[in-house]
Amino acid sequence: MSKSTKFQGFAASALLLTSCSMAAFAAPQTGTPADGALINQEQVLYWLIKRGEVAADATDVVKQAAVDAFIHRGNHASYKPATIEVKAEQMRIKQVEQKSTASAQYVSANNNVLADQDITKTVKVLAVLVDFPDLPHDANQLEVRDTEMYYSSYPASHYQQMLFSETGYTGPSNQTLQSAYQYYQAVSGSSFFFTGDVQDWVTADKNADYYGANDADDNDQAVPELVKEAVTKAVASMTDAELESFDVEDPYDLDNDGNYDEADGIIDHVMLFHSSIGEEVGGGVLGTDAIWSHRYYVDSTTNGYEIPGRGIKIFGYTVQPIDSAVGVCTHEFGHDLGLPDEYDTTYSGDGSPVGSWSLMSGGSWSGSPAGSQPSGFSPYAKSFLQQKYKGKWVNEQNVSLADLTSNGTAVALNHAINANAVNQLSIALPAADITFTAPLTGQYQYYSGQGDLINNAMSFDVTLPLDTPLALSFQAHWDIEDDYDYIQVMVDSVAIPGDHTITTNSIYPTVKNFISGKSSDIRTSYGDDDWVGMSFDLSSYAGRDVQISVVYKTDEAVGDYGMAIDNIQLTNQDTAFYSDGAETDGMATLAGFSRIQDSFPGKARRYIVQLRSHQGVDAGLVSDNYEPGVLLWLENLNYTDNNVSEHEGEGLIGVIDADQNLIGTQSTDIQIRDAAFSLYPQSAYYGDSYLGAESLFDDSTDYSAPLKPQAGMILPELGFTMQVTEQASNSSTATVEFALADSSILPTVTLDADITAQVTGADVNFSVVVSGGSNYTYAWSFGEANAISTDAAPSYTYSASGDYNVSVLVTDGAGNTVTATESVSVVIATTPTSTETSTETNDDSSGGSIGWLSVLMLGLLGYYRKRI
């Protein structure tokens, strides 16, 4: 297995991020992505036959091959989200963590977590309808059998009602269907208000294929241009006051004041509807020239496009087809809110173990007509939205694994649609170390870490002798996304050239002397891990006190494991005068880098329990033949996606299938129809030979589905069980009993922390040395009002001389905490004078434990890939 495969999917801690220049990380805009969750293979085949591209009497093999060829562009692994959105989400999470040692939206009493019921959120969406000179909306060439959402006409009033009606809207058969407003009211416990207005149809400047034809990378080639045209035309008749009413949020906190509910000069939410069937369901008469529904950005490198003469920008948008059902609209708006896709975005296997259990996967197609009754959110998504918006998205209760015994603990649970009672249970699990390559020599090595938008560093200070030549050398292996991500070796913050550095960066012209790509591509690499000897000339710094650092910077998405470093040496005339093989702790200052052996600390994992019924927003599960009952999910923050075709049995979020009896050779979404634990037998389903009730979860059982591994989940064996002991006949309530066979197998962790402060006038550089536990997060308080940070090694400039009490709360991946304190004396000279640097340390710390901090680290990415 290659290193790129071995470490794929692991995310680095967002808390190790430091701010970086927006210009430095602004990637060029490419074609637009495709949202694979919206693929409807039956409709794709229908349109292939109708357009004469496949014979109606062709074999099933031929038909499936044609469908696969058509939808292959649903995989787009290289898509990158807008930097500003990713960074804003990371900063928002940091601010939440800084305000509370638990979670800003939760109030804990006796371990019962209550939602912030008094907080509501209202969004206002600008919906724009656009047709094309060669495909007018009122001559769209659609027939009744072409779509389940067929109407004889599609006026603006239809979309106004479908999106924003408080009482529902009229379906194709004159039935009353749920609106998007009603959906978001239901899933948020009436705390989220999805409002807006639809502007009437405008016509694009060019024919449909100009915007929707696929470019060389198989992307729709000009959808952002269409968005700019359509919105500019649609708002032309609006007054400035009317237009400004669509700008009431500052989701990226552009003015850095922590207030997200204020105007920022950007239209908050744009939803575009075009006059064709979407490419994801066959493209209608346009075929591959149709636009594939997606969430994306306009002019992301300049943070949006300013509408001429209006003083307001367009930035993020979603795009949907003329025949959209509510499922498509709510799914794409879920991306607008920051949620990632939960399906396997490679679309190259059986699919992830989420299926119709979540809107952000196949649940967007639930109901009849298809997509008219989208299912609720996964617990990952619910926790993300609760943390971000507060309100009543979820009412969660924490259950401590360490408090469980073999006697069992009974906990009551309400179905997920009941926002007024506990509707989700969370059981934090011990973090597991992630296997990495071994050090080149000895027991330890330095590791850069991995993740999106990170700015990690390791450094050491040294006095260089006067004699030359002087050289820095070390051994390293790496796998880093070409040019988008890079490592630089610096002396006093200036990148220096070495024998394997690259001079010119094709993405960032100002970046020089950097390392990127793979060490395996270096001809002189050696060993199974492709180590490379690195050398840098330091002769020009002879006789100076310098700081040598290695800095790793990444962009918004994509990437691999980063770099491992061993055997650092400084030589003078080929004689070593400084050596660091990472064997001695404390020789280097680590800010994001870590000193590891052959593994690195894993991230938080937890079991999450939901009770799902066939009521409310989950009524559409009936159309998917999904069984009601108690769902047990595993959330694993070591992964940023659910691409189980690349990492079978493991992903960000997935259900544990109670019934491990396979349903023929069906795909995952069918296999997990009976995933719920229940006291009641299953209903009949074609090809399902086992319909018995499964009420007991036992982690000693193999839930990995060896014959269908992409449908299974690989679980830790901790002696943990869950038994459904009571369940209402309609699955509106249930009682589950948790037990742990032997609590002694759980790791006992004692944390200790010491603060170090380097004071230079008003400026203080802080660091903290922590022992015990792993996967730390930090919450600093510098002793002045609103002076806080979540960096591992922050710096702070004080406003006045004085003695300040500084503290840092350190939390490990299992929720154990320790608080260290230190008194810092700051003397600010009134006239320019030389300053002295002092170092203070502290060993005053106190330990403790808090519950799992909800989902504060991920969901950031919100980058939505195509599927094959």
* Fold for the domain defined by 436-599: Jelly Rolls (2.60.120)
For CATH 2.60.40.10, the residue range(s) in the chain are 752-849
- Answer for the pair 645, 348: CB distance below 8 angstroms, yes or no: yes
User: Which residue of the set 85, 97, 229, 332 is catalytic?
Assistant: 332
Long-range contacts of 238-247 (CB under 8 A, 24+ apart): 240/310, 240/311, 243/267, 243/310, 243/312, 244/312, 245/124, 246/124, 246/125, 246/126, 246/196, 247/312
Q: What is the mean pLDDT of the chain?
A: 86
Identity (one letter) of the amino acid at 608?
A: I
Name the residue among 773, 432, 436, 475 with its Cα closest to residue 598: 436
Query: Which of 587-611 are b and which e, b meaning 16 or more Cβ less than 10 Å from the residue's Cβ?
Result: bbbbbbbbbbeeebbbbbbbbbbbb
| Mean pLDDT (whole number) for 456-460 | 94
Name the residue among 316, 238, 225, 307 with its Cα closest to residue 271: 316
Provide the CA 352 distance to its chain's centre, in angstroms. 16
Q: Where does the pLDDT of residue 110 fall: very low under 50, low under 70, confident under 90, or very high at 90 and above?
A: very low
Between 80 and 14, residue with greater pLDDT: 80
For CATH 2.60.120, the residue range(s) in the chain are 436-599
How many beta carbons lie within 10 A of that of residue 409, not counting itself? 14
Strands 455-463 and 788-789: unpaired
- Answer for the pair 483, 45: CB distance below 8 angstroms, yes or no: no
How many beta carbons lie within 10 A of that of residue 73, not counting itself? 24
Residue 270 parent element (H or E): strand 269-274
| Cα–Cα dist 249/233, whole Å | 23
- Answer for the pair 79, 863: CB distance below 8 angstroms, yes or no: yes
Identity (one letter) of the amino acid at 96?
A: V
- Answer for the pair 281, 291: CB distance below 8 angstroms, yes or no: no
Q: Is residue 242 among the annotated active site residues?
A: no
- Answer for the pair 589, 459: CB distance below 8 angstroms, yes or no: yes
In the chain the first and final C-alpha atoms are separated, in Å, by 23
How do residues 123-144 score in pLDDT, each as one tens digit?
Answer: 999 999 999 999 999 999 999 9
| Mean pLDDT (whole number) for 48-68 | 93
| Cα–Cα dist 214/201, whole Å | 24
| Cα–Cα dist 320/272, whole Å | 6
**Quick one: DSSP state of residue 60?**
H
Strand spans (E) along 22-168: 107-109, 112-114, 121-131
Name the residue among 388, 197, 159, 165 with its Cα closest to residue 273: 159
| Mean pLDDT (whole number) for 51-78 | 82
Instruction: Using the Cα atoms of residue 844, residue 772, residue 561 and residue 637 in order, give the sign of their dihedral.
Output: negative
ω into 369 cis (within 30 of 0):
yes
| Cα–Cα dist 649/669, whole Å | 14
Q: Where does the pLDDT of residue 811 fall: very low under 50, low under 70, confident under 90, or very high at 90 and above?
A: confident
Contacts of 554 (CB under 8 A, 6+ apart): 451, 452, 453, 454, 481, 484, 485
- Answer for the pair 312, 265: CB distance below 8 angstroms, yes or no: yes
Residues forming beta bridges with residue 112, ordered by sequence position: 109, 397
Name the residue among 122, 132, 250, 124 with its Cα closest to residue 191: 122
What is the predicted pLDDT for the residue at 861? Answer: 31
Q: Where does the pLDDT of residue 85 fall: very low under 50, low under 70, confident under 90, or very high at 90 and above?
A: low
Does position 9 have pLDDT exceeding 50, yes or no? no
- Answer for the pair 495, 513: CB distance below 8 angstroms, yes or no: yes
Q: Which phi-psi region, left, alpha or beta, contains residue 49 (left: φ > 0; alpha: ψ -120 to 50)?
A: alpha
How do residues 326-340 score in pLDDT, each as one tens digit?
Answer: 999 999 999 999 899
Does position 752 have pLDDT exceeding 90, yes or no? no
Pair of tokens at residue 490: 């610096």
How do residues 672-702 score in pLDDT, each as one tens digit?
Answer: 999 999 999 999 999 999 999 999 999 999 9
Q: Where does the pLDDT of residue 228 fall: very low under 50, low under 70, confident under 90, or very high at 90 and above?
A: very high
Residue 160 parent element (H or E): helix 156-164
How many beta carbons lie within 10 A of that of residue 326, not counting itself? 26
What is the predicted pLDDT for the residue at 89? Answer: 59
- Answer for the pair 319, 270: CB distance below 8 angstroms, yes or no: no
- Residues, the chain: 868
What is the predicted pLDDT for the residue at 311? Answer: 95
Residues forming beta bridges with residue 733, ordered by sequence position: 414
Q: Where does the pLDDT of residue 742 fall: very low under 50, low under 70, confident under 90, or very high at 90 and above?
A: confident
Domain range 752-849, CATH class: mainly beta
| Cα–Cα dist 819/817, whole Å | 7
How do residues 346-395 score in pLDDT, each as one tens digit?
Answer: 888 899 999 999 999 999 999 999 999 999 999 999 999 998 999 999 99
Contacts of 535 (CB under 8 A, 6+ apart): 471, 472, 473, 498, 499
User: Over 664-696, what HEC string results?
Assistant: CCCCHHHHHHHCCECCCCCCCCCCCCCCCCCCE
Q: Where does the pLDDT of residue 640 fall: very low under 50, low under 70, confident under 90, or very high at 90 and above?
A: confident
Does position 35 have pLDDT exceeding 70, yes or no? no
| Mean pLDDT (whole number) for 8-27 | 29
Residue keyed to tokens 């033949």: 625
pLDDT > 90 in the chain, percent: 70
| Cα–Cα dist 229/212, whole Å | 14
Packed helices 180-187 and 326-336: angle between N→C axes, nearest 10 degrees? 60
